[in-house]
A = this chain, B = another copy of it.
């Protein structure tokens, strides 16, 4: 298979993946490549190709035309591979330290060939294994500030930003978020998954009109507020980490939305460790504080030095933007806490707790904290008051 002759989509086999890798002049001519499909097969094929002589490797990721995670029958076009490839390139230009290098993309085959990150571990897995990754929060704060500032009207200029909005319209993947985060957890939907012992708590949540009002407001923000190019799925399973490196992967949910959505998913996924992992609690609370303080400082620096909208470059308007982002991030974090507890896609931080009573107690805490963050986000105006609410449920 020559790299540019493909005119129709077909799933790659391991030999075809090797052939593609060889055609790209990433490896030397005498390379001897081994290939292993390492994806979970739910949404994508992921081939890990290594030169057994040189040790160098690449990843080939190919979108599959369906989503298994929501049942065999949920069809999903492979257009998302183009969104993902475009987002990786955009984020890679803006925050090169924190995004895997992209070597080649093909929209027809729906493949991206990218940097091999197998020396790192998925952050969630690392956390569950006891790692704390001391630099991950500083890196994520910088990644968020750079990607969210430079893709905004203020970093890009309004005309260029509108072109990006058009390019990243992403109805299929947004629908998954709209359903699984903002809709299904709030009524008795078939997609929900929770222990029978939690049914009383969950039914109380379904009856909570005030909560559902606030979730409607947050969903409205997700549907209408085209502030920045979001990663769109920035949980700790989309982050490769090591003690010195952090790489954000899998931006197939990318679209223009409210900046607080990415920040809130980072907050919530660190909160799962705060709640599930007693012995490392202070580490993860510090991570949350660091994400926000690094984000705020770097975003402010970029606002003041790189702003394309001159009239907007005032301290009061910068503070307005940061306050809005913080309030939104608190609300979206609450949504993530709830949906990962009772919705379709759970997190191993909670589900891997073996003792049933401890696991249920942790899940009741994520539900309780989720409700508080969603309803009280306007009063939670800074990190100390946020952390106070967290301590309140521990």
Contact = CB atoms under 8 A, between A and B. Distances in A.
A162 B169 contact: yes
Given A158-B171, A162-B171, A317 B217 contact: yes
Interface in A196-213: 209, 212-213
B186 A174 contact: no
Interface stretch (A28-36, A44-52, A223-231, A354-362): A223-231
Given A171-B158, A186-B311, A224-B226, A213 B166 contact: no
A378 interface: no
Contact of A217 (B158, B162, B320): B320
Interface in A307-338: 311-312, 314, 316-317, 320-321
Instruction: Determine how many copies of this chain the complex contains.
Output: 2
Contacts of A321: 220
Interface string A180-195: 0001001100000000
A163 B171 contact: yes
Contacts of A159: 171-172, 175
A195 to B, nearest CB: 24
Interface residues of A, number: 37
B317 A216 contact: yes
Nearest to A259: B224
A158 B187 contact: no
A213 B317 contact: yes
Q: Is the interface of A mostly helix, strand, loop or mixed?
A: helix
A158 B212 contact: no
A226 B258 CA distance: 11
Contact of A224 (B172, B225, B316, B320): B225
A344 interface: no
A213 B175 contact: no
B158 A178 contact: yes
A255 to B, nearest CB: 8
A97 interface: no
A206 to B, nearest CB: 11
Interface string A154-178: 0000110111011001111011001
A153 interface: yes
A158 B178 CA distance: 9
A187 to B, nearest CB: 7
Interface in A6-39: none
18 contacts: A153-B220, A158-B223, A162-B169, A162-B170, A162-B171, A165-B165, A165-B226, A166-B166, A209-B314, A213-B316, A213-B320, A216-B317, A216-B320, A217-B317, A220-B312, A220-B321, A224-B225, A226-B226
Given A158-B223, A217-B320, A224-B227, 20 more contacts: A153-B224, A158-B174, A158-B178, A159-B172, A163-B171, A165-B165, A165-B226, A166-B166, A186-B311, A209-B316, A212-B311, A212-B314, A213-B314, A216-B311, A216-B317, A219-B311, A220-B312, A224-B226, A225-B225, A225-B226
Task: List 9 tightest A-B contacts by C-beta distance, closest first.
Answer: A159-B171, A166-B169, A162-B171, A153-B223, A216-B317, A224-B227, A213-B316, A226-B226, A162-B169
Interface of A: 153, 158-159, 161-163, 165-166, 169-172, 174-175, 178, 183, 186-187, 209, 212-213, 216-217, 219-220, 223-227, 311-312, 314, 316-317, 320-321
